[in-house]
Structure 1
């Protein structure tokens, strides 16, 4: 499927394939608050017997030159489960992953081609669900900064066509409205929506906690956030 495209930054783009070579050697930094996730899944499960497996989700934001915050969301392929619905990048951890956070970085790279530069914090609480085989899975979501993610244009995304057929960089208003232009954004689950709302709220909280001054206005009806260093 060829997705709708436009010159507007962050719009739906044609799908591209992720590289076929092995994933890069991840050298991302982590926040100290995430220490419990810096161990292999096997070790984590040994002290958290309520779970049979662990899954992760990655919230990747891009701040446009106009100060408008966008989140990467991807549309599931027509032949996959929950076809045509939208979600953040993520998936199950493997026992081969160096840590749970490495599993998150691997899934992000496999699904979007983006390379994690920093895992800056956890977003929301855990979300528990059951697989079709009856496994109880604990899912944790993280905000991730990626290489090339602070430019005037959003970082280049390369989809795995087996899993996703389109992506957009969507604002909070667009996510809540369930629409970006003519594109309907219907998310996979309530847990997915909760993670997205929590991610945007976390970004607002970071601005307040950082001691900076946030000026909020609108650009074409979309909330604009300008961060100014507080006077000393």
Structure 2
């Protein structure tokens, strides 16, 4: 991963490895990232999980995934996941959008996951290439389409209510950022 990824100083706490972040925040066991990307028209990139995915097949989400031991920083992990899942090259982390904590799953030892979601600028939104093992479709959706859970004739079904809220928060922060 290129180290040319830029970010504001307000995101410095995420410019550390997963191991270091978890050491500083022992309430979390594992970190996951999400990447919010807007195109020139101000629409948000969403991807549909593959039909044969074990977890949450056919549901819509933003690109993202587990922070790996090999990721230099959490911010680099978000950029790597965006490249792997959507083929997009991040150039700048704009802001932290939100974070979601989720946890214990029945039949497994208690684990607390932290998902950190960042808005990212990319080289171009015209070249989305999905990893077909993970995702089968992508769309750019307006805020209204996210609110109404439909883009054209495509119904949007998300993994969870917080998963939808992440998208709405991204639109809100983008509006606020443009008006300041």
TM over 0.5: yes
Q: In structure 2, what is the Cα distance between the partners aligned to 1:89 and 1:121?
A: 16
Gaps of 5+ in 2: none
What's the CA shift for 1:127?
A: 0.7
1:200 to 151, 155, 171: 171
Specify which structure has the higher proportion of helix: 2
Q: In structure 2, what is the Cα distance between the partners aligned to 1:74 and 1:166?
A: 6
Superposition map of 1:130-209 within 5 A: 130=103, 132=105, 133=108, 134-148=110-124, 154-209=125-180
Q: Secondary structure at the match of 2:39?
A: strand
- 8 Å CA contact 1:26–1:105 kept in 2: the answer is no
TM-score (norm 2): 0.94
Q: Secondary structure at the match of 2:116?
A: strand
What's the CA shift for 1:190?
A: 1.6
Superposition map of 1:1-232 within 5 A: 24-64=1-41, 69-80=42-53, 81-124=55-98, 126-130=99-103, 132=105, 133=108, 134-148=110-124, 154-209=125-180
Gaps of 5+ in 1: 1-23, 149-153, 210-232
Q: In structure 1, what is the Cα distance between the partners aligned to 2:32 and 2:44?
A: 20
TM-score (norm 1): 0.73
What's the CA shift for 1:28?
A: 1.1
- 8 Å CA contact 1:41–1:54 kept in 2: the answer is yes
The number of aligned residues is: 176
Partner of residue 218, structure 1: none
What's the CA shift for 1:131?
A: 6.1
Give runs of ≥4 in structure 1 deviating > 6 Å: none
Q: Secondary structure at the match of 2:102?
A: strand
- 8 Å CA contact 1:116–1:144 kept in 2: the answer is yes
Q: In structure 2, what is the Cα distance between the partners aligned to 1:139 and 1:161?
A: 23
Q: Secondary structure at the match of 1:62?
A: coil
Q: Secondary structure at the match of 1:195?
A: helix
